[in-house]
Amino acid sequence: PLYHHNVVAIRVSPAGEILDSEPILIWEGGTTDGESGEHVFGVASDGTDWAIVMTDTFVSGYNTRVRLIGMRMQPDGTLVQAPQTLYSPSCCVFFYKGSLAYADGVYMAVFEGYVDSWNYGIFGLRLTTSLTTLDSYPLELTTVAMQNETHYYRRPGLASNGSDFYLSWQLYIDDTSSQVYGARIDPAGNSLDGNGVPISDVLPLDLFLAPEVVWDGSQWVVTWPQGHQQMARVGNNGDVLDPGGVDTGLSSGVCIADSSPGLRHVRSEAVGSGAMPYDVLQTTISTDLSVGEDQCLSFGAPAQSQPALATGTTGYLAVFRSTTSSGSRILAHPLDDWGQAHLTEPVELAGGRVGPVSY
């Protein structure tokens, strides 16, 4: 059976404030022909509305079909357009990883996959701001025949500088090696850099390697994991400014543009101890790829463990260890005869990296 998923969204202000108390339902899985499985390709804005593009795998008669679905959302979270089919291949083909961006009046959705029984590669589909398709057939951005071919393209990423797109991908060389490539794409879907330019050195093959690209306000930055997060800057003219990439020393994560030229790198990283020692961290990356200080973004409750309970003449005292990634505390809660807390918050008895509670 196919998996059944709902797609939801939450709006976040530029200051990081969560604007929706409950997630907005974007797409409820299931069609008249059976259950469906969805994968969100991307979300982008034209400066007014948001566009959302995803894949929908569905059952049609005795066959499994796939299609690209698009819809729009206003800034207040109102869906202004019902989901509509953007493209559905006629044969038994499918889409892999995709991305979405907006430049100069045009959305472009890119994906890896087959568009017919023999052509495999990275393709683009251009859309108007109302999500009307501009191309009756996906554009071949990078494509090769699969038979007797040692090179093929996979795992595209896409970003916009407002006037053009930049496409990143993994070039599969052979069964042992691959390389990160990229190319500028104009709003008409033409490559401004031919078949692309190498960005990384030749790497050991990793079928899950998915290079991403982001515009930092002044240049493109292509990122990929290789031990640590690697980054390479690409100028407006397509020149790779950091051939082979720069090792940032950070764990792999995602990059978003900062409010001023530069990036913010967000990741989950083990920084504490215990069974689940992970926090969400962000780090500022400047336009010369220098790395700033880490900032913890996690707002989860601390782990409470190792409780001890003592009986007194007028009630009880509950003592326990409260642990976060930055330290731990010993807290105490005085309780009445019925087990109700006397105080709204526990009292801290000790702080820092303290040991277990002694009974």
Instruction: Specify the 3-state DSSP secondary structure of 233.
Output: strand
Express each pLDDT in 105-117 by its tens digit: 999 999 887 666 6
Residue 125 confidence (pLDDT): 93
Q: Say if CB 109 and CB 125 are below 8 A apart.
A: yes
Q: Which tokens hold the place of 291? A: 């790395």
**CB under 8 Å to 28, separation ≥6 — which residues?**
6
Quick one: which of 56, 57, 50 has its CA closest to 24? 50
Quick one: which of 86, 97, 167, 183 has its CA closest to 134? 86
Whether this model's pTM surpasses 0.75 = yes
Quick one: which of 53, 86, 92, 63 has its CA closest to 2? 63
Q: Say if CB 303 and CB 329 are below 8 A apart.
A: no
Q: Say if CB 98 and CB 110 are below 8 A apart.
A: yes
Q: Which tokens hold the place of 125? A: 């589909």
Q: Which tokens hold the place of 47? A: 């400066």
Residue 92 confidence (pLDDT): 53
Question: Which residues of the chain fall short of a pLDDT of 50?
Answer: 1-2, 30-37, 146-148, 354-355, 357, 359
Quick one: which of 180, 299, 303 has its CA closest to 245? 180
Residue 272 confidence (pLDDT): 61
- Kindly report the number of other CB atoms within 10 A of residue 23's CB atom: 12
Residue 296 confidence (pLDDT): 80
- Tell me, what DSSP letter sits at residue 232? E
Residue 337 confidence (pLDDT): 87
Residue 236 confidence (pLDDT): 93
Residue 301 confidence (pLDDT): 62
Residue 93 confidence (pLDDT): 58
